[in-house]
Amino acid sequence: RIYRETDADIAALGERTVGIIGYGNQGAAQARNLRDSGVPVLVGNRADEYFGPAAEAGFAPLPIAEVADRAQVVLLLIPDEVQPEVCAEQLAPGLRAGDTLVLASGYNWAFGLLEVPAGVDVVMVAPRMIGAAVRDRFVARQGYPCFVSVERDASGSAWPTALAIAAGIGAAVQGAIESSAREEAALDLFTEQAIWPAIMDLLSAAYAVQRDVGFSDEAILHEMYLSAEPAEVFARAAEHGLLGQLPLHSRTSQYGQLRGLAELGARDNPLREYFERVLHQDILSGAFAAEWSQPEAMASLERLRAAAQRDPLHHAEREVRGS
Ligand code: NDP
């Protein structure tokens, strides 16, 4: 289901105060959008890097625990990896039955990493948009896609609250898409763990084949992605559809693309097995979340980054980009 502006009423917040925890990418945008929507907003931030920008925007930031105590609707807009600890230590003591905790990502809730006091509603309002654009599109009244869900409805009125927040941050203009923390987290992780690695691996294989016939690194890499042409194609695909944007290419290109697609589409995709394993065994089972919450995960991230850099494609890219 898609909730439109007519389904979402900011007035459902009534006299409640909204607390924004964190003034980073999403926090800065959502705090300003809610304020401009006429909602009373308190911003909670450590006296740290983002304290200054919040104060400059006129929010008079308070300690996180104080905001959790004073607000009845609390938006948790700090990085996912620090949320469990901050929630347990600084939010939980101030959250009371009848309050609402609003998540912008399903990950921690989906994998059971957040402890939220009983009687507190838990909802998700998750923009599919970077914070800067959440603000710009609000100002331009353009809207942006957003997933909404109710994860725990202790009060019986969690949906109107979730939709009021969606409306207040400008996420109902294009319609807010009903989802769940599990679905949002799994889709996000699948894109990261299956689709993007497949694209990077595909580019690496394509580079090797073209390099073998002696084409230059500069030409290959600009043709493949350094020109940013794929970004243009994806933007048109979002507008007209993957096949719908084909007429923007030459007839030679269209014939070549459809001919290749017919051949590749006719055989079993060798990636399907990998995709299924990633979705079921790594993501939905919770195995990936458990692995990523281990203390040694950060060191593994750096090892994987170093290993990826050794691929010839990335070596060529560094040379071409002069970096
Ligand atoms: P940011 O990385 O921009 O968050 C920075 C904020 O978190 C700052 O206010 C910072 O304050 C605070 N912070 C960082 N560490 C801590 C800590 N240990 N204790 C207290 N405060 C801390 O986060 P995002 O805006 O990117 O993400 C917020 C949420 O939104 C996440 O759930 C994310 O998944 C979701 N989301 C993000 C999107 C994006 O495009 N970025 C898109 C959609 C959803 P300081 O350093 O000053 O202490």
- pLDDT per residue over 55-109, tens digit each? 999 999 999 999 999 999 999 999 999 999 999 999 999 999 999 999 999 999 9
Secondary structure letter of residue 139 according to DSSP? H
Decide if 65 contacts 94 (C-beta within 8 A): yes
Q: Would you say the ipTM is above 0.85?
A: yes
Angle CA 50–99–114, to nearest 5: 65
pLDDT at 260: 98
- Residue 102, SS3? strand
For residue 54, the ligand 1 atom closest to its alpha carbon is 9
CATH architecture under which domain 2-179 falls: 3-Layer(aba) Sandwich (3.40)
Nearest protein Cα to ligand 1, atom 3: 24
Q: Is the CB of 26 under 6 A from ligand 1?
A: yes
Q: Is the CB of 49 under 6 A from ligand 1?
A: yes
pLDDT at 182: 98
> Which ranges of 151-296 would DSSP assign to H, the alpha helix?
158-168, 181-190, 196-212, 217-221, 229-240, 251-265, 271-277, 287-292
pLDDT at 323: 77
Chain segment 257-311, per-residue pLDDT in tens: 999 999 999 999 999 999 999 999 999 999 999 999 899 999 999 999 999 999 9
In angstroms, what is the span from residue 160 Cα to ligand 1's centroid? 25
> Which amino acid does the sequence have at 215?
F
| 253 closest CA partner among 233, 234, 272 | 233
- Residue 54 contacts by C-beta under 8 Å, 6 or more apart in sequence? 23, 27, 28, 31, 43, 45, 61
Chain segment 136-158, per-residue pLDDT in tens: 999 999 999 999 999 999 999 99
The domain ranges of the chain are 2-179, 184-321
